[in-house]
Amino acid sequence: MLYTPLILLLSAGCHRSDRIVVGSKNFTESDLLGEIVAQQIERRTSLPVERRFHLGGTFVCHQAITAGQIDLYVEYTGTAYTAVLKLSPGPDPDSVYRAVAAEYQRRFGLVWGRPLGFDNTFAITVRRADAARYGLKRISDLARVAPRWHAGFGYEFLERADGFRGLAGVYGLRFASPPTAMDLGLTYRALAEGKVDVIAGNSTDGQIAALDLVALEDDRHYFPPYQAAAVTRAQVLEAHPEVRRALAELEGRIPDAEMRRLNALADVEHRDIAVIARDWLRVNAP
Amino acid sequence: MSVLAFYARNSQEVLGLVWQHVSLVAISTGAAILIGVPLGIALTRRPAWRGPVLGLANVFQTVPSLALLGFLIPLPFLGGIGARTAIVALVLYALLPIVRNTYTGIAGVDPAVREAGRGMGMTDGQLLRLVELPLSLGVILAGVRVATVVGVGTATIAAAIGAGGLGVYIFRGVATVDNTLILAGALPAALMAIAADGLLGLAERRLAWRRT
């Protein structure tokens, strides 16, 4: 009887540290991947999982995981390389992945899992009708019409080393006016409503097909790779090797087309992400 | 890099964004006063409208800013991208405190005072101009004060739709994982809110003092 409070105290302490907190950034794909990762840990381990989803972007997720507020989230190699580590982008997926994994381990005590499979690069996107009328297939075709066109870009794209400034130089793009800086989510609506003529979306976004838009091919290979992978605190993986095994089952399992399909299920058909994640796991990690 | 060093290097840009921010708040709060005060007065004359009108103003407060901007983009005249859309959104957010305080202020005027006015043969217009508005000015001004201070903070969302303002630094800083930039936008906005609160508080006190 005398030990009961002590045992309770200990188990309460264990409970706190044994809970896995999964984060995600503030867009559908990140929520979906967070949910898939969270459910996979729930299926394969006995650890309780807490979800901290839709955090305000790369900045907030990075702050949260380095402060130990979350234990893992899914990040993109190109984003970590340029936005977090502030290195200038390179085109080779493997060298970017290796550099990011090594630096994260050294500087933050964070471990990168192997990539999940798809590459979510920036997608220079126009209305399908415009693409047909002006024969636009590649970004280099855009230079012809750009002087009469208006662009709307998200802040991330305008500021990043691998964003607009470099793109404009590589493809010789000069628009009718300086690009309008706006929220990324609102750029899709502005494009569909004809308020701007070209935006920079993400290649795996469901809206591209849903709003009848087309992404132009990056024919000069300007954008670095953005492979998605789970980033986890090293301490958590040491304490719970079963988490590492659970996550390893997901590596390389989500190709580009599959990610687009999952995003469209959530964004276009408005299916519940928990259901999408459960169905996907049942088929792909039985 | 410290925020001060950042300002020293980008002083032109900072001043431009501060000016944009002040303009956004001034225009939107001004428009909200022009719409909200008459609306609040109308509610005291038509008590049946009170529920629906204040309910609608409440609803605008609960719509997240990005969603509101998204709804506004396709609208003709009011919508599109740029300053006009941002101002429409800011007016919608500023309406509630102004309408509510105008209504509460006038409705709170002592019925005995109102009766005395009527007894002197005042028309409804005279009663409003000479009795009700002077007596409720403090409460109405308190509503304007809340709308202005909240507006200084809310105006940072103008940057989400290409309308500039100090939100530009905040959005840029969040997008590029840069604390200096976030502070560069947030600090002047906070100072501006404190200054607006102080100035309007002073005006409120002077009015209260004059009345006694």
Q: Smallest Cα–Cα separation from B166: which of B158, B176, B175, B178?
A: B158
Measured between CA atoms, how close is B159 to chain A, in angstroms? 6
Beta-bridged to residue A198, according to DSSP, are A151
> Taking CB atoms and an 8 Å limit, are A186 and B159 in contact across chains?
no
The neighbouring-strand residues paired with A231 are A73, A112
Q: Grade residue A11 by pLDDT with cuts at 50, 70 and 90.
A: very low
Q: How confident is the model at residue A156 (pLDDT cuts 50, 70, 90)?
A: confident
Q: Is residue B28's pLDDT more than 80?
A: yes
Cβ-based neighbour number of residue A162 at 10 Å:
22
Asked if A5 contacts A247 with a C-beta cutoff of 8 angstroms, the reply is: no
SS3 letters across A148-208: HCCEEEEHHHHHCCCCHHHHHHHHCCCCCCCCEEECHHHHHHHHHCCCCCEEEEECCCCHH
B1 close to A (CB below 8 A): no
The whole-angstrom separation of Cα B182 and Cα A240 is 36
Please tell me the predicted confidence (pLDDT) of residue A14: 43
Q: Which of A3-7, A222-226, B182-186 has the highest mean pLDDT?
A: B182-186
The confidence score (pLDDT) of residue B90 equals 96
Question: Quick check: B94 and B88 in contact, CB under 8 A?
Answer: no
* Ramachandran category for residue A109: left, alpha or beta (phi over 0 → left; psi -120 to 50 → alpha): left
Residue B53: what pLDDT?
93
Q: How far is A60 from chain B (nearest CA, A)?
A: 8
This complex has an ipTM of 0.78
What digits encode the pLDDT tens for the residues B126-169? Answer: 999 999 999 999 999 999 999 999 999 999 999 999 999 999 99
Cβ proximity of A72 and A230 under 8 Å: yes
CB of B67 within 8 Å of a chain A CB? The answer is: no
- pLDDT of residue B212 exceeding 80, the answer is no
Domains of chain A by range and CATH? 4-119+225-284 (3.40.190.10), 122-215 (3.40.190.120)
pTM value? 0.77
The mean pLDDT of chain B is 92
Distance (Å) from the C-alpha of residue B157 to the closest C-alpha of chain A?
9
Answer yes or no: do A57 and B82 touch at CB < 8 A: no
Q: How far is A201 from chain B (nearest CA, A)?
A: 14
Interval A113-133 mean pLDDT: 95
Alpha carbon distance A32, B140 (integer Å): 47
A56 neighbourhood in chain B, CB within 8 Å: 174
Nearest CA in chain A to B165: A181
- Say whether B177 and A59 touch across the interface (CB within 8 A): yes
Chain-chain contact of A181 with B174 (C-beta, under 8 angstroms):
no
| Contact B168/A at CB under 8 A | yes
Token match 């043969």: residue? B121
Q: Give CA–CA dist A249/A241, Å, rounded.
A: 13
> pLDDT > 90: what percent of chain B?
80
Interface contact B162-A182, CB threshold 8 A: yes
pLDDT tens, position by position, B161-182:
999 999 999 998 887 778 899 9
Q: For residue range A206-217, what is the model confidence (pLDDT) as tens digits?
A: 888 889 999 999
Between B73, B82, B171, which is nearest A155 by CB? B171
Which residue has tokens 């109308």?
Answer: B42
Give me the pLDDT at residue A17, please.
61
Strand segments, DSSP code E, in chain A are: 20-25, 49-55, 72-76, 110-112, 122-127, 151-154, 180-182, 198-202, 213-215, 228-233
